[in-house]
Chain A
Amino acid sequence: MKIGIVGAGFMGTTHAAGWAETEAEIIGIVDEIAGKAMPLAKQYNARVYPNLESMLPDVDVVDICTPTPQHHEMTLQAAAAGKHVVCEKPLGRTTAQAREMIEACRKAGVKLLVAHVVRFFTEYALAKSSVVRGEIGKPGVIRLSRGSFRPKKPAGNWFLDESKSGGILMDLMIHDFDYARWVAGDVESVFAKKVTTANPNAPVDYGLAILKHRGGAISHITGSWAYPPPTFRTHLEIAGDGGLIEFDSADTAPILNLIARPSSDSPDVGLPSSPLSESPYTTQIKEFYSVLLGEKQARITAEDGMAAVQISEAAIQSAATGKAVVLEVLS
């Protein structure tokens, strides 16, 4: 199986490391920034292609790790060429885009796999399977939070333009929107607020959302870009009528590092970092590889990816209007 990766940033690099753990072959790397693809291509003995179009004839799978606003068009392009697609989250910038992507892949008879990596984090996967096993009964109130610092991006970067990235309610909180829906089912309404609505120049951002699930559960989702680097914290709580699951990344950190470090030594993006024998990103790519071979079903469908985008879009709309947003049932 021949893989072509589009986008040689952090995600492209991470996915490449995952593909390297499979029998698949990384054929090519594309990045719109000249020279950025070269180190990655060298590492995996792959070619650098100037653009997606030129790479398409040589690959079976296109792995899209580009900025959010490019996911839609690149997926349509890959599907039109009959190539399977792996796409980073969010699947599209809008529900309408996601729908077109799904439709295009269906028509072309290719698979569309969306990389919601939180489903592959062992603690989140374990909590989900505990719920599925009935250990805590029916979920009633779910609390999920994900907190870090605002990713360092140069001025003019797409990420800083909320019309492109969707801001904190899309880019960060979609992880937990998807997870809440995975655990408690489809979402009926969303009410959300974020700091930068009323304070556009705030040095921090923080989003709060309340979801009402069609099955009756309610979820409280928090996203933070307010903590100092290198903080990255996640918290999960699923309370059911037969028990409770709690997880906090700080409380379960197996290593407490009290070694002095220079204050300048902090990453550009906050990332989870509990030591495991296999990175959840690699687990994800390995699963996708098996799915592409036709060996198993993915734990997440493209429709799940679209539903997560729909929740994020509703949260953005709610924060902008101050009203709760009722979600349409996705067909």
Chain B
Amino acid sequence: MKIGIMSFAHHHAKSYIANLRAIPGVELCSVADEDPVRGQRFAQAYGASFYQTYEALIESKPDGVIICSENSKHLPLVEMAAASKINVLCEKPIATTVADAKAIVDVCARAGILLMTAFPMRFSAPLMEVKARLDAGELGQVFCFNGTNQGELPTKHRAWFVDPVLAGGGAIMDHTVHLVDIMRWYLGSEAVEVYAQTNKIFHANEVEVETGGLEMITFQNGVFASIDASWSRPPYWPSWGGLTLEMVTERGAVIVDGFKQNITVYSHTNQRPVWQYWGSDMNQAMISEFVSAIRDGREPSVTGVDGLRAVEVVAAAYDSARVGQPVQVQRLN
């Protein structure tokens, strides 16, 4: 099976190459990037063939592509892949606007191709364990969630992560979707209302977008949830950030940390404690699911609609932050 990567704008593209290499029978045939220097560097480093244009990559007829462009540039690449009936795994957030997200879902549906959203937390072993206990009825009725997806300012990875157009926003855009997706997955219920407060106190003079964000979401089944999406970790914190979720049920609470499985390393080199992760590789499981779904000709466990639903919540969060009151989530069917 041949999988291509469209764009190296997102730093995850690098780990996806390694994940693809680890799957027997998968050939990373081709990469393309609008930045030829960057693209050629990655292609060379990983022994993949480099195409000067996205069109050329698509013409090489891979079975699937992983789209790692800037958030706002997902749609044109998805359209290109869909036009040639090539399956798509799209980085999160799937788009920066609800309209784009809907267009992505629609164009793939019309083309009859598989569309998956890159929500790796769905493949996190600790989060899957909690989901299994919940489904087995061990935890009882869920009442509310308290979630955090905090991080450092992501400019360390790529400058465009704080670009209001290319990223589509700041901390809220970056760090809402993972937890919204986990909550929808756990509950089997859709978000109906969002309240959000944002500010720009961290890195106030470096960026235009919000760096602090707190949200409160209500689901159709009455469960409510908070999300801390803030880029509040300093650059010398022991890791990039993390994701935690407290789930309160009639029997108490479960607190799961998606990035707790670390060793702490104190080295002369770093001069500060650094957490090195030893937990299971959720990206590997996610990429494997994409490949399996293509092989089996089935819908992946995380779909494009899942990506769309998360973007709808983000849009409502920005609306709420503007008006200072909760707003209804506009769900597109």
Q: Contact between A324 and B195 (Cβ–Cβ < 8 Å)?
A: yes
The chain B residue with its CB closest to the CB of A192 is: B216
Q: Kindly state whether residue A208 has any CB partner on chain B within 8 Å.
A: yes
Q: Contact between A227 and B214 (Cβ–Cβ < 8 Å)?
A: no
Q: Kindly state whether residue B273 has any CB partner on chain A within 8 Å.
A: no
The chain A residue with its CB closest to the CB of B230 is: A141
On chain A, the residues within 8 Å of B222 by CB distance are 198-199
Q: Contact between B233 and A218 (Cβ–Cβ < 8 Å)?
A: no
Q: Kindly state whether residue B279 has any CB partner on chain A within 8 Å.
A: no
Complex CA–CA separation, A127 to B230 (angstroms): 20
The chain B residue with its CB closest to the CB of A203 is: B250
Kindly supply a per-residue 1/0 record for chain B positions 182-212, scoring 1 wherever the CB is within 8 Å of any chain A CB and 0 otherwise. 0000000000000101110111100000011
The B contact surface, by secondary structure, is strand
Q: Contact between A227 and B253 (Cβ–Cβ < 8 Å)?
A: yes
Q: Contact between B201 and A208 (Cβ–Cβ < 8 Å)?
A: no
On chain A, the residues within 8 Å of B68 by CB distance are none
Q: Contact between A324 and B325 (Cβ–Cβ < 8 Å)?
A: yes
Q: Contact between A216 and B248 (Cβ–Cβ < 8 Å)?
A: no
Q: Contact between A141 and B326 (Cβ–Cβ < 8 Å)?
A: no
CB distance from A311 to the nearest CB of B (A): 15
| Chain A interface size, under 10 / 10 to 19 / 20 to 34 / 35 or more | 35 or more
Known: A140-B199, A202-B143, A218-B197. A208 touches B252 (CB 8 A): no
Q: Kindly state whether residue B112 has any CB partner on chain A within 8 Å.
A: no
CB distance from A206 to the nearest CB of B (A): 5
Kindly supply a per-residue 1/0 record for chain B positions 230-269, scoring 1 wherever the CB is within 8 Å of any chain A CB and 0 otherwise. 1011100100000000001110110000000000000000
The chain A residue with its CB closest to the CB of B237 is: A244
In the complex, the number of residue pairs spanning A and B with C-beta atoms less than 8 Å apart equals: 110
Q: Contact between A216 and B199 (Cβ–Cβ < 8 Å)?
A: yes
Q: Give me 12 A-to-B residue pairs in the complex whose CB atoms sit less than 8 angstroms apart, sorted by A's number.
A: A141-B199, A141-B202, A141-B228, A204-B249, A210-B195, A212-B197, A217-B201, A218-B198, A218-B212, A218-B214, A239-B233, A240-B202
Complex CA–CA separation, A244 to B249 (angstroms): 31
On chain B, the residues within 8 Å of A139 by CB distance are 201
On chain B, the residues within 8 Å of A210 by CB distance are 195, 197, 214, 216, 226
On chain A, the residues within 8 Å of B198 by CB distance are 218
Q: Kindly state whether residue B288 has any CB partner on chain A within 8 Å.
A: no
A residues 197-230 near B (Cβ < 8 Å) are 198-199, 202-204, 206, 208, 210, 212, 216-220, 222, 224, 226-228
Complex CA–CA separation, A198 to B250 (angstroms): 13
